[in-house]
């Protein structure tokens, strides 16, 4: 079966909607907020997304069937840029043997499955007016994170302040009431305030807020980030899938 481009959001929602925790990012990218920066492909029921909204293009291809996306990815090789970042189901990186591969390490997709485990909420909703303080916090606490300032306009960022200073934040990478999914992101605490439960409270507040508009709250985390995994496990998140991140460069 040949690889084909897909331009129909309803078709993509049907293909991706059966596994919302696995495909939360792709489902969220069907919204107008991200859609103009996306290119989609399919081969059978397998779907791949190339996101080109800034920096390196990012390829996302997940499949819970062994080698389920391999034929699609092999067909995409001539269409991909010479250098790109990728999020792939385990083993799919083997398709790109004509590229130099720099692994970004194993990652996990987590999904909120136990709402009763959420902690007491803490913090207030951030707005675009909070952007300077948020950028200052990220510079100190989370340098190099992927953050689009437009995300503050969603109203889905919660910050914790002390004496006026922003010390912790929990936000989203994806929030889609239409497709009923959200993916947490840009969660951090100022180094001198860590261990005080500020992020725990901010994440809990944000999750409660998100559940007014979505059915699935998810996130990505590095598999070796034991502190983050413990935090999210304690808040009712469980593993939905494993995947890897890679930078590929044509030889």
What DSSP string describes 31-97? STTTGGGEEEEEETTEEEEEE-SSSS-EEEE--SSTTTTHHHHHHHGGGS-SEEEEEE-TTGGGGGT
pLDDT for 90 equals: 96
pLDDT for 55 equals: 84
Over residues 92-118, the mean pLDDT reads 97
pLDDT for 63 equals: 94
Spatial distance between the Cα atoms of 19 and 243, rounded to a whole number of angstroms: 15
User: Whats the size of the chain, residue-wise?
Assistant: 251
Segment (H or E) for 102: strand 99-112
CA angle 184/109/221 to nearest 5° reads 65
Q: Which of 47-51, 62-66, 116-120, 221-225 shows the lowest mean pLDDT across its residues?
A: 62-66
pLDDT for 83 equals: 97
User: SS3 for 28?
Assistant: helix
Residue 234 confidence class, pLDDT cut points 50, 70, 90: very high
Q: What's the longest Cα–Cα distance across the chain?
A: 61
> What secondary structure, in 3-state letters, does 132-177 show?
HHHHHHHHHHCCCCCCCHHHHHHCCCEEEEECCEEEEEEEEEEEEC
Residue 205 has pLDDT above 80, yes or no: yes
Residue 54 has pLDDT above 80, yes or no: no
Residue 146 has pLDDT above 90, yes or no: no
Retrieve residue 55's tokens: 């920096």
pLDDT for 52 equals: 94
Retrieve residue 69's tokens: 């996306």
User: SS3 for 7?
Assistant: coil
Residue 1 has pLDDT above 80, yes or no: no
CB 91 within 8 A of CB 202: no
Q: CB under 8 Å to 57, separation ≥6 — which residues?
A: 50, 51, 80, 81, 84, 85
pLDDT for 34 equals: 93
Residue 55: alpha-carbon gap to chain centroid: 16
Q: What percent of the chain has pLDDT over 70?
A: 100
Retrieve residue 94's tokens: 């083997």
Residue 2 has pLDDT above 90, yes or no: no
Over residues 199-222, the mean pLDDT reads 98
Spatial distance between the Cα atoms of 242 and 169, rounded to a whole number of angstroms: 25
Over residues 29-41, the mean pLDDT reads 96
Retrieve residue 193's tokens: 């305030």
Residue 58 confidence class, pLDDT cut points 50, 70, 90: very high
> Tens digit of pLDDT for each residue in 147-188?
989 999 999 999 999 999 999 999 999 999 999 999 999 999
């Amino acid at each position: 079966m040949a690889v084909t481009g897909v331009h129909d959001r309803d078709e993509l929602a049907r293909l991706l909607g059966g596994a919302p925790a696995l495909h939360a990012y792709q489902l969220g990218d069907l919204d107008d907020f991200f859609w103009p920066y996306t290119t989609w492909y399919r081969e059978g029921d397998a779907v791949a997304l190339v996101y080109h909204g800034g920096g390196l293009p990012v390829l996302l291809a997940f499949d819970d069937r062994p080698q389920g996306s391999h034929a699609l990815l092999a067909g995409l090789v001539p269409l991909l840029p010479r250098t790109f970042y990728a999020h792939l189901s385990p083993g799919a990186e083997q398709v790109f043997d004509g590229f130099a591969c720099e692994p970004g390490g194993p990652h996990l997709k987590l999904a909120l499955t136990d709402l009763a485990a959420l902690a007491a909420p803490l913090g207030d909703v951030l707005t675009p007016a909070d952007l300077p303080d948020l950028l200052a916090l990220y510079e100190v606490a989370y340098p190099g994170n992927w953050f689009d300032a437009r995300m503050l306009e969603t109203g889905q960022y919660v910050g914790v302040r002390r004496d006026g200073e922003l010390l912790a934040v929990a936000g989203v990478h994806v929030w889609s009431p239409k497709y009923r999914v959200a993916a947490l992101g840009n969660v951090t605490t100022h180094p001198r305030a860590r261990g005080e439960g500020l992020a725990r409270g901010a994440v809990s507040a944000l999750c409660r807020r998100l559940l007014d508009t979505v059915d699935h709250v998810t996130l990505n985390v590095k598999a070796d980030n034991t502190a983050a995994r413990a935090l999210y496990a304690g808040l009712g998140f469980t593993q939905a899938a494993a995947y890897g991140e890679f930078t590929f460069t044509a030889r």
